[in-house]
Amino acid sequence: MLDEFLPRYDFNEVHSTTTSASPAAAMEAIRALTPAEVPTLVVLMAIRTLPSALRGRRTALRGRLLEGFVRGGFVPLRDAQDELVFGVVGRFWKPSSGVRRIEAAEFESFAEPGTAKAAFNLLVERDGERTRIVTETRIATPDEQSRRSFSRYWRVIQPGSALIRRDWLRAIRRRAERSPR
């Protein structure tokens, strides 16, 4: 489904895991997961939001993780039985991240110079006897200056981004395997 929203991109990363849980239990776990279950995310987001915190603006990581993404400016693009897709636009390389709230209908055509747009999915599929959970993140930049700015930022944050996604998938797997389904 990412191809529908962000078919051309400049940067991406893909991570996956498998579980003995059913696809329904895995999707239920994705929807119910909290930030406390993904400690790497909490730590790295605290570092990322430190400039705002020092200015007295606190960002609380409470509730369900996906709800926090929406509060932070992500827009749900697809909500299906086997896949969720979220998108966001901004100047991620800036200390404030420059996230700009847009409507889902604007996402695909958004191409304002000086910004980037990112989309990620969480896909659940049956793979033989196991359930496979995949997340892909894609980032597109509309102009050369944005591409250079994001590229510098990506070189710094990509290892942490990958760590968060792997930790996130482990947390989903743990929660899904505890599910009574």
What pLDDT band is residue 96 in, cutting at 50, 70 and 90?
confident
Q: Which of helix, strand or coil describes residue 75?
A: strand
When pLDDT is averaged across residues 100-112 and rounded to a whole number, the result is: 95
Residues 6+ apart with CB under 8 A from 102: 75, 89, 110
- Give the domain ranges of the chain: 2-178
Distance of CA 14 to the CA centre of its chain: 11
Using the predicted structure, report yes or no on whether residue 164 has a pLDDT greater than 70: yes
Residues 6+ apart with CB under 8 A from 146: 113, 114, 115, 116
Task: Please answer whether residues 40 and 169 qualify as being in contact, where contact means their C-beta atoms are separated by less than 8 angstroms.
Answer: no
| Per-residue CA distances from 139 to 1, 84, 94 (Å) | 15, 17, 15
CATH 3.30.530: does it fit domain 2-178?
Answer: yes
When pLDDT is averaged across residues 128-152 and rounded to a whole number, the result is: 97
Residue type present at position 80: A
Highest mean pLDDT among 50-64, 95-109, 120-134: 120-134
Q: What percent of the chain has pLDDT over 70?
A: 87
Kindly report which listed range (35-39, 50-54, 153-157) carries the lowest average pLDDT score: 50-54
What is residue 149's predicted lDDT score, i.e. its pLDDT?
Answer: 97
